[in-house]
Amino acid sequence: MPIPAPVLAPPFNILRLSHVEFGVTDLAASRTFYTDILGLQVTDEDDSTIYFRAMEERGHHCLVLKKKPEPGIDYLSYKLFAEEELDKAETYFKGLGHRTDWVDRPYQGRTLRTHDCFGAPMEFYFKMERLEPIHQKYALYKGVKPLRIDHFNCFAPNVDTAVDFYGKLGFRVTEYTEDAESGALWAAWTHRKGGVHDIAFTNGHGPRLHHTAFWVPTPLNIIDLLDLMATTGYVGNIERGPGRHGISNAFFLYILDPDGHRIEIYCSDYQTIDPDLEPIKWDLKDPQRQTLWGAPAPKSWFENGSAFTGVETRDADLKASPIIAP
């Protein structure tokens, strides 16, 4: 199916992705992983919750860990351009028949909770507490030295439906994978902030969160992380990479946290600011689509994901398959 034309005047103005809340079963183990291994900075914590930010971020948090009996994803959150955009968002989602609620979130102003076309929880806000800059406090840099949260990737049971829904919110497609036989989308990368993506969609059983990505300074940071993980008891948490994606041209590594939530370490993609930038098309069977160097992803990468808490899932409509490593 053809990629829909970008909506340059959406019903409300999403600035960028903001943060995600993970349910984790062992808060202490997760804290060690995200501070000592990844290098995120704790901005607040208590017996049930930990807030983190990355080194370039001034907002209070980009990741929230909440102690839960079972791992899961509570919501994906987006920052809006202005306070009045929140009321526009409420009107828009109510017009779709989606449930909307105003929820209290620490360190944030008014926060609107709703859901996407598959029922995955979305939250929107404008105001978040600002913290002092720490990007030049080099003594704090640890682990892979994460600079900022970069994107989400979600399993979607129908990628064309996802692109249509998020496209109407102003997300623009930068690259996509098409199944040659059916003409259906197998994956798509969409953005608001001028990178390759704020949120991407991969064909699969969903909705589920495939991964959350953090931007790092250079590919050498990824090599340092691999050495660190291999010598501190985390070699089994390395799932895929390092490598360079064909799609996005980014250098990558995929790792798993103690609860199996997938994290991508990511750098070296490109700008997509121009509103008339044409999306790049890839064929599903192109071996350089996944990895520019040709190495396919493991089966786990196409099957395992994190469930959204309380959200029903279904199998993908499209049964086509990419090349998978044996």
Are 123 and 160 within one domain?
Answer: no
- What's this model's pTM, rounded to 2 decimal places? 0.98
Q: Does some domain include residue 238?
A: yes
Q: Does some domain include residue 250?
A: yes
Are 227 and 168 within one domain?
Answer: yes
Q: Does some domain include residue 6?
A: no
Q: Does some domain include residue 54?
A: yes
Dist CA 118 CA 257 (whole Å): 25
Q: Does some domain include residue 248?
A: yes
Are 237 and 162 within one domain?
Answer: yes
pLDDT of residue 13: 98
Q: Does some domain include residue 133?
A: no
Whole domain around residue 278: which residue ranges?
Answer: 145-307
* Confidence band, pLDDT 50/70/90 cuts, at residue 204: very high
Are 58 and 19 within one domain?
Answer: yes
Listing DSSP states for 249-314 in one string gives --EEEEEE-TT--EEEEEE-------TTPPPEEEETT-HHHH-TT-PPBPHHHHH--EEBTT---B
CATH label of the domain that carries residue 262: 3.10.180.10
Question: What tens digit of pLDDT does each residue of 268-297 get?
Answer: 999 999 999 999 999 999 999 999 999 999
Cα angle 319-75-236, degrees, rounded to a multiple of 5 = 65
Does position 1 have pLDDT exceeding 80, yes or no?
no
Are 155 and 300 within one domain?
Answer: yes
Question: What tens digit of pLDDT does each residue of 17-36 get?
Answer: 999 999 999 999 999 999 99
Are 100 and 216 within one domain?
Answer: no
Q: Does some domain include residue 7?
A: no
Dist CA 276 CA 53 (whole Å): 33
* Confidence band, pLDDT 50/70/90 cuts, at residue 105: very high
Are 158 and 288 within one domain?
Answer: yes
